[in-house]
Amino acid sequence: MTRCFSIFLALFLAIYGNQAVLATGQEESPLSGIAAGPVIVSHIALILPLESPSFAEAANVVKDGFEAAAQRGQALPYTIRLYATSDEPLDILMNYHHAIASGALFVVGPLTRDGVSAIASSEALAVPTLTLNTVDSSTPLPGNLYLFGLQTDTEANQIAKLAAMSGGRNHAVVIGDDSALSRRLQNAFMQRWQEEYGYTSQLYRYTDNPVLLQQLRDLTAGEERLVFLALDATKSRIIRPYIDPETPVYATSQIFTGTANFLLNSDLEGIRFLDMPWLLQPDHAAVMAYRHTGSNSRSTEMERLYALGIDAFRLMTNLLQWHSAGQIAFDGVTGNIRFTPPSLFVREPIPAQFTQGKVQLITTPENISEDERQ
């Protein structure tokens, strides 16, 4: 397999050589200008699936956030080259090696989970690489690889801590569907809820059948109970009226679609969730520094990706500056960011609650933090 890939990679480089990529220009925007020809130049590579029909929009928003941070951040000793890929893992892997061969000293990307898995399958990485997504925690990872992203399964783990901090409730009713994301959220919540805190839980499969939903009132009632919704906003609105009104309800950022949705948010009354300062805390220092660069036309999902681009640039500059990733910790627009060995940068978002259609921040006795890799 390795020999076949080496031959394929050599053929690719022979055909395409050092194809033109977007590069930085001091007189223009940080990701503008064309770097053409076979010249090997020391640079930072930003690898994004801009040629993927499924991920191009998301990739462009991440690029915009990265560029905004570059314009306002400290001067870098290297230019930044943008490598546009599809969402095919082999194409991403070939572009990664092409960037290294062209002189990349640091790589930011890929963005897709499959792309990160392709890079993570390497036995060793020649240069430090900061990915914009994560892989399964059981996957052995090469040195020089740093993981960072917006994974909501980590939020589910953190929301279990928030629920446990509230006290007095030791049995969780976990409501989810059969989607891959929901299953990851269910597993992440229950793993911490049961294994670390020793509490009990039970699963309830999502349904929109009103007759079946009637049983939720009795199932969720009780002073010892709470509910975790491993669902998006639409399904959570359907479920919410059937949950006992005295029972605390928790969810991830999946249920938050913006502060402008007053009527829709009213249907989520009382639900506690986690999300990034970029969306919940306009008076946050870093948010104020970048807020005017955003676009009011972007959806909440796209705003999160824009914030990811900002913090990816800031995290990259920290990695270039510090000899040890363990020294890095800063208050980012996506959350409080710090390193957990062996390779993960964890975002610690902030807790909030829906109250009469509005979002209110929750004051907790301590910060939501992770002392170990999840």
Over the stretch 356-372, which tens digit does the pLDDT of each residue have? 999 999 987 554 444 43
Helix and strand element counts for the chain (H, E): 13, 17
What phi and psi, each to the nearest 5 degrees, are found at residue 113? -65, -40
Q: Are 286 and 332 in contact (CB under 8 A)?
A: yes
Cis peptide leading into residue 342 (ω within 30°): yes
Topology of the domain covering 153-276+350-361: Rossmann fold (3.40.50)
| Lookup: tokens for 92 | 């991403």
User: For residue 4, what pLDDT is reported?
Assistant: 44
Each residue's pLDDT tens digit, 105-159: 999 999 999 999 999 998 889 999 999 999 876 778 999 999 999 988 899 999 9
Predicted confidence (pLDDT) per residue in 308-337, tens digit: 999 999 999 999 988 789 999 999 999 999
Is the pLDDT confidence value at 15 over 60?
Answer: no
Specify the pLDDT at position 103.
96
Local confidence band at 295 (pLDDT 50, 70, 90 cut-offs): low
In which band, very low, low, confident or very high, does the pLDDT at 260 lie, cut at 50, 70 and 90?
Answer: confident
- The terminus-to-terminus CA distance of the chain in angstroms comes to 32
Q: State residue 181's pLDDT score.
A: 94
Q: Rounded to 10 degrees, what is the CA torsion of 370, 258, 64, 327? A: -20
Buried b (16+ CB within 10 A) or exposed e, 242-276: bbbeebbbbbbbbbbbeeeeeeebebbeebbbbbb
Predicted confidence band of residue 292 (pLDDT cuts 50, 70, 90):
low
Say if 1-147+281-348 and 153-276+350-361 have the same CATH topology.
yes
In whole angstroms, give the CA distance from residue 162 to residue 157.
9
- Spatial strand order of the sheet with 21-23 comes to 34-35, 21-23, 79-84, 43-48, 104-108, 129-130, 145-146
Torsion sign over Cα 20, 24, 25, 29: positive
Nearest CA among 347, 341, 305, 304 for reference residue 329 = 347
pLDDT surpasses 70 at 21 = no
- pLDDT at residue 57 greater than cutoff 80: yes
The per-residue pLDDT of the chain, averaged, comes to: 87
Structural domain spans, the chain: 1-147+281-348, 153-276+350-361
Residue 68 pLDDT exceeds 90 = yes
Could you confirm whether domain 1-147+281-348 is CATH 1.20.1430.10? no
The contacts of residue 367 (CB under 8 Å, 6+ apart) are 336, 348
Distance CA 196, CA 264 (A): 35
Digit-coded pLDDT (tens) for 202-253: 999 999 999 999 999 999 999 999 999 999 999 999 999 999 999 999 999 9
What integer pLDDT is reported at residue 280 of this predicted model? 95
C-alpha to C-alpha distance for 84 and 298, rounded to whole angstroms: 22
- Which H or E element spans position 81? strand 79-84
Cβ atoms within 10 A of the Cβ of 281, count?
17
